[in-house]
Amino acid sequence: MTSPAPVTVLLADDHALFRSGFRALLDTQDDLVCVAEAADGDQAVEGTLRLRPDVAVLDVRMPRRDGLAAAGAILAAPGNKTRVIVLTTHDTDDLVRRAMTAGACGFLLKSMPPEEMLSAIRIAARGDFLLDPSILRRHAARFASTLAVPEEQPAALNRLTAREREVLQLLSRALTNAEIAGLLHVGEQTVKTHVSNILHKLDLRDRTHAVAYAHLTGFAKIPGGRRP
């Protein structure tokens, strides 16, 4: 059986050091390959329309044409199938709105852990939409604040162990695996195992969906994730 073709990626950022570091990270993955780099928005559009990568990762702030304008041009091109992820160091509602309006399938902060950034590219390549967990937490919390906490937690939560409920609470605060490990005084691999178990038991696709689930079910509002 032949292996599936790797996900092709175009990386656009005006900081050469960031591009080289990210490309080196991509090069460690068998299923991801960087096919081009771009130092400005015009190069990003030209390279994407010429090479048609599966995913284009665009920094918001670039010369000649910013990442949001580049995303709009790429996504409006006839026959385009490239998925666009927008990266930024600035977490503002206006940037999120503009990225989504342009048609980007992802909006991520550059502070996201490297392994989660790689996962985000894979998620985008398969056609799913994603937001950085910290952004999703803010918006989910706003939405959840308008809802009454359910009198009863979803039955699926009963499948979680006490420690898994603790981890889900910390996930709802958009903490990284390393931060959760530090708070619980366990290894990072142990946290990854707990997160995997949570996703499986609650039938959730990824940690971003776990954050939304915790807020929209009222679980995140309950101290320690205890039942009301």
Average pLDDT of the residues in 168-182: 86
Is residue 36 over pLDDT 90? yes
Q: Is the pTM of this model over 0.95?
A: no
Residue of 192, 209, 195, 201 lying closest to 159 (CA atoms) = 201
Residue 136 or 71, more confident: 71
Q: Which letter, b or e, does each residue of 15-52 get, where b requires 16 or more Cβ atoms within 10 Å of its Cβ?
A: eeeebeebeeebeeeeebbbbbbbbbbbbbbebbbeeb
Q: Can you give the pLDDT at residue 127?
A: 81
CA dist., res. 148 & res. 100, Å (int): 28
> Once rounded to an integer, what is the mean pLDDT over residues 40-62?
96
Structure tokens at 39: 């130092």
The gap from C-alpha 97 to its chain's centroid, in whole angstroms, comes to 16
Total residue length of the chain: 228
Residue that wins the pLDDT comparison between 164 and 113: 164
8 Å CB contact between 28 and 72: no
156 vs 44, which has greater pLDDT? 44
Evaluate if residue 43 carries a pLDDT over 90: yes
Percent of all residues in the chain with a pLDDT value above 90, rounded to a whole number: 51
Which CATH number is associated with domain 7-131? 3.40.50.2300
State the average pLDDT for the chain: 85
Structure tokens at 26: 């991509």
Phi, psi of 161 (to 5 degrees): -75, 170
CB neighbours (10 Å) of residue 145?
Answer: 9
∠ CA 167-113-42 to the nearest 5 degrees? Answer: 140
Whole-Å CA distances, 225 to 157, 164, 202, 220: 10, 10, 15, 7
Determine the topology of domain 138-225 in CATH. Rossmann fold (3.40.50)
Where do the structural domains in the chain lie, given as residue ranges? 7-131, 138-225
Domains 7-131 and 138-225 share a fold: yes
The DSSP call for residue 81 is: -
